[in-house]
A and B are shown apart, each in its own frame.
Chain A
Amino acid sequence: MTHKKLTVVTGHYGSGKTNLSVNIALDIAESGEKCTVIDLDIVNPYFRTADFRGLFDKRGIDIFAPVYANTNLDIPSLNIPLESLLKSGTHIVIDVGGDDEGAKALGRFAPLINATADKDVLYVINKYRYLTKEPEEAAQVMREIETSGSVLCTGIVNNSTLGAQTTEDDVRGSFGFAEKVSELTGLPISATCAIESAMPEEAPAPYTVKRYVRTAWEQD
């Protein structure tokens, strides 16, 4: 996957947006480019991009996060200078909260995002997530996100996973689902994500990811 100046990561609640955002940000930093991550998730209290602040610091990645979880405030406030970041020339990865509720936070930045030409607005899908197993359901959630966030998606990321237990067959079993979502939405499959051990050879637009979003008993 080639990374545009601005990457907005949207998707159903729990589709794997945060893990994808972390992977993309680390990739951009690895290639020697400046990268800034914006955690726009105002829904989720745990397993957030902001949890990776330490890792990002080491790789020279800046992060802007709402003042919310891990602070003493329980009402999120968004203090994010997107306009100046866009002008500064840094690559930007925006991790949006799940569903249409999460995408609401995007609305405020929609005029800036829509005015940016060099961008991807990715819609992350996971065939194994309980309420978006049917392509029609996944397509419907995308429309809700677009409406709520006032931003149109530009590509589908097939991130079909069962977490640590994902096998190559699980990923292969999601190809038909992703194609159907692509057909229903009229958007290309920008990437098929999988961990290295589960990536099928024939995957369209393969993007090998690492699992950064993990529980304490999975840490190395």
Chain B
Amino acid sequence: MAEKSLMKGNEALAEAALRAGCKCFFGYPITPQTEIAAYLSKRMPKVGGVFLQAESEVAAINMVYGCAGSGIRCMTSSSSPGISLKSEGISYIAGADLPCVIIDVMRGGPGLGGIQPSQADYYQITKGVGHGDYHIIVLAPSTVQEMADCVTRAFDLADKYRMPAVVLADGLLGQMMEPVAFDDAEIVMSDASGKPWAANGHKNSREHNIINSLYLQAPELEQKIRARYERYAKIEENETLAVADYCDDADIVVVAYGSTARLAKSAVDEARKQGIKAGVFRPVTLYPYPVKELNDAVKSAKKLLTVEMSMGQMIDDVKLAINCSKPVEFFGRTGGVIPAPAEILAKIKEMGGNE
């Protein structure tokens, strides 16, 4: 690893993308993720890549659709309201079995909402974003280094399974600064090699490839979707990722992702100092949800507590994952308000964590 640099979360996401060979970035500014576009506008021309500010979020995601079809690694980024605008395009990309990476640095909603951090788009992102029977891969980092690592992983998974992958962060992660290290490997821009399906020009050397999501014959569309769900089953089997801290003997396991997991970890550290047996479970993949890992982590737990910067969305997946075998309580702040570790600790105590 090279020496460490101090980077904003948004900058680390951007730098990691071009280091993953992302040759084309199509974006549109929106707080709190604009640094991604600003950074790539400076860096992309220096490494032989393309930075393009589109006329809208809708245009940007459709540029990604076209670029992904040519087999080149490409990316777009936005924040909550912008992701809503991109949802149609994401559905088309999933329907055409194309790989791409989408970054969502969440802010308060609904509507224009606010510019402060939020996790209120969990339902939106993990349940598919757009219309139709499909999934997208969702990775949720909680440090600036992990933001960089998740971008690399997102590109690899997107290519491996030919589907969109999202790195889901929030404004706090996007705006904060922490040390990051990248390896010293030379930056190599991607091309269509290893992608025989790519529509990248063939000079009559082979049959032409077709990128399409329109299937008017119902049995054919059903067959396409079923084939996709066979891939999803493999993803759910092989690609889950989670981190469990102090869960082995915990009476109460706090489940949280992203920056909220760090607030929860602070609360759990303090709880342990006070002799309370609390643990924290942090899903890194939100789709596929780490069902097996969560069940392993809550073996000794009497109760679970889900903490989110929302009114409670991931809590549904927590309950489903453990099949409601234990009580799952909730604590959250929303609208851009960040839950304080002391508030989380108070909730742990209220749940009987100090008995």
Contacts and interface: CB of A to CB of B under 8 A. Distances in A.
B115 A163 contact: no
Would you call the interface of chain A mostly helix, strand, loop, or mixed? Answer: loop
* Interface magnitude class on chain A: 20 to 34
Nearest to B261: A217
A163 B341 contact: no
A128 B180 CA distance: 10
Would you call the interface of chain B mostly helix, strand, loop, or mixed? Answer: mixed
Contacts, number: 64
B31 interface: yes
Contacts of A129: 5-7
Contacts of A161: 6
B179 A165 contact: yes
A216 B341 contact: yes
B321 interface: no
A45 B263 contact: no
Contact of B175 (A45, A126, A130, A131): A45
Interface string A207-219: 0000000011101
A74 B32 CA distance: 12
A163 B7 contact: no
A47 interface: yes
A14 B172 contact: no
B4 interface: yes
Contacts of A14: 6-8, 11, 177
Contacts of B295: none
Contacts of A219: 340-341
A46 B105 CA distance: 13
B265 to A, nearest CB: 7
A45 to B, nearest CB: 5
Interface string A119-132: 00000001011110
Interface of B: 4-8, 11, 15, 31-32, 42, 115-116, 171-172, 175-180, 259, 262-263, 265-266, 338-341
9 nearest CB pairs, A to B: A46-B175, A217-B266, A130-B5, A128-B6, A162-B179, A217-B262, A45-B31, A216-B338, A130-B7
